[in-house]
Amino acid sequence: AARWGVRFLRRQYELLAGLAAVEDSVLIANPGVLAAMPVHETQGTPLISLILQPWLIPSAVSPPVMPGMGWLQRAPAVLWRMVWGSIDLGAGLLVGGELNRLRKSLELKPVRRLSQNWLSTQLVLGLFPEWFGPLRTDWPPRIQLTGFPRPAAGAGEELPPALLDFCRAGAAPVVFTFGTGMAQPGRQFRAALDACRLGGLRGIFLTKYPEQLPAPLPTSVLHLDFAPFRLLFPHCAAVVHHGGIGTATAAMAAGVPQLVCPVCFDQEDNGHRLRVLGVGDWLPARRQNGKTLSETLQTLMSPAVKTRCQEVARMLAADPDGLALAADAVERHAAAPRE
């Protein structure tokens, strides 16, 4: 339960309440910030839920892919309603006690299910386009989709010369990156090196944990602590990553194939959506070995997939900036009269 920040709910409430006390404040919070709803209820501060990926919005009609529950994907809606009810009940058992103690101290009614404290009852902003996460009939009607945020380009921003030279020194490399929060990606990078050897691929391994890398690395593989995806990915043949929505969006914007090796949370669902779009694929943990990585990458680097990646990149480029649209929606909501 501590992992959910339950111990810090009261402190979280106090911090948010202090910020919300400023006149004309608007609370913009991820659903996991459980103290946001009590602040909204006690102080009347407008609350907007911010969703970065479709996985966070439950649906029984077209459910997101849940880790380890792929076998349920084609189950009827009635079964999925039971699944969501069970998840809601379990989450309530995990954090409900502390949340309701906080609510009682604020003279608020208890919540029986965590879903009652999950999304704003006023406005929910989904920072993804409908072609990536189509609106579902059982999603709350207050959801607005803005599209993916577009990172601002820095003036004169470019790749370091040594990295650019490596990218141009032979066949376009494949980038392997498994997320900044992945402190022990040793198994994944060993599989990545095997895939490079089997497929005759050049590679770029991105991690701030060099002790997790197989040693020594051949000269055809470069290790970096960091590289800006927006600048790096256009020089690469493919991207292998954990399935974070930011990395997936950057690869789509660059028009390169991507292979997702999910670990938890929304990553499997993001990989499934990339597969449906035709710009990538995903592998469960049991299949994340050098041979399968190599074979899957060869398929993804085919002319047909590359063409589809370029099509989706043009779709994304044609979309308005999701962050700008979200900011406009926040301003409209803040200016709207309150009941």
Clarify whether residues 166 and 306 are in a common domain: yes
Tens of pLDDT along 223-237? 999 999 999 999 999
What distance lies between CA 11 and its chain's CA centroid?
A: 27
Classify residue 217 by its DSSP letter: P
Residues in the chain: 339
85, with CB counted inside 10 A (0-12, 13-18, 19+), is middle
Half-sphere exposure (Cβ direction) of 205: Cα atoms closer than 13 Å: 30
Residue 2 pLDDT greater than 70, yes or no:
no
Tens of pLDDT along 258-309? 999 998 889 999 999 999 999 999 999 999 999 999 999 999 999 999 999 9
CATH of the domain at 258: 3.40.50.2000
* pLDDT given at position 271: 97
| Nearest Cα residue to 254 out of 177, 318, 314 | 314
The H or E element spanning position 33 is none
Q: Which residues contact 211 (CB under 8 A, 6 or more apart)?
A: none
Residue 105, domain member (yes or no): yes
Residue 280, domain member (yes or no): yes
Residue 154, domain member (yes or no): no
Tens of pLDDT along 116-129? 788 999 999 999 99
Clarify whether residues 330 and 307 are in a common domain: no
* pLDDT given at position 156: 66
Residue 33 CA to residue 36 CA, distance in Å, equals: 6
Clarify whether residues 273 and 175 are in a common domain: yes
* pLDDT given at position 117: 84
Q: pLDDT class for 8, splitting at 50, 70, 90?
A: confident
The arithmetic mean of pLDDT across residues 195-213, rounded, is 96
Clarify whether residues 280 and 330 are in a common domain: no
Q: Note down the domain range covering 63.
A: 2-148+321-335
The arithmetic mean of pLDDT across residues 249-265, rounded, is 96
**Which residue has better confidence, 66 or 290?**
290
Number of compact structural domains in the chain: 2
Is the pTM above the cut of 0.85?
Answer: yes
Residue 153, domain member (yes or no): no
Q: pLDDT class for 183, splitting at 50, 70, 90?
A: low
* pLDDT given at position 1: 42
Clarify whether residues 203 and 62 are in a common domain: no
Contact 248, 184 (CB under 8 A): no
Residue 156, domain member (yes or no): no
* pLDDT given at position 220: 98
Residue 124, domain member (yes or no): yes
* pLDDT given at position 180: 74
Clarify whether residues 172 and 60 are in a common domain: no
The arithmetic mean of pLDDT across residues 326-339, rounded, is 89
Clarify whether residues 46 and 93 are in a common domain: yes
Contact 26, 333 (CB under 8 A): yes
Clarify whether residues 39 and 165 are in a common domain: no
Cα of first residue to Cα of last residue in the chain, in angstroms, is 36
Residue 95, domain member (yes or no): yes
* pLDDT given at position 3: 54
The arithmetic mean of pLDDT across residues 63-82, rounded, is 89
The arithmetic mean of pLDDT across residues 12-20, rounded, is 95
* pLDDT given at position 155: 57
Clarify whether residues 62 and 183 are in a common domain: no
For β-strands 47-51 and 123-126, DSSP reports them as parallel
* pLDDT given at position 336: 86
Clarify whether residues 7 and 127 are in a common domain: yes
| Nearest Cα residue to 76 out of 66, 63, 57 | 63
* pLDDT given at position 115: 84
Share the mean pLDDT of the chain: 93
% of the chain residues with pLDDT over 70: 96
Clarify whether residues 217 and 297 are in a common domain: yes
Clarify whether residues 49 and 124 are in a common domain: yes
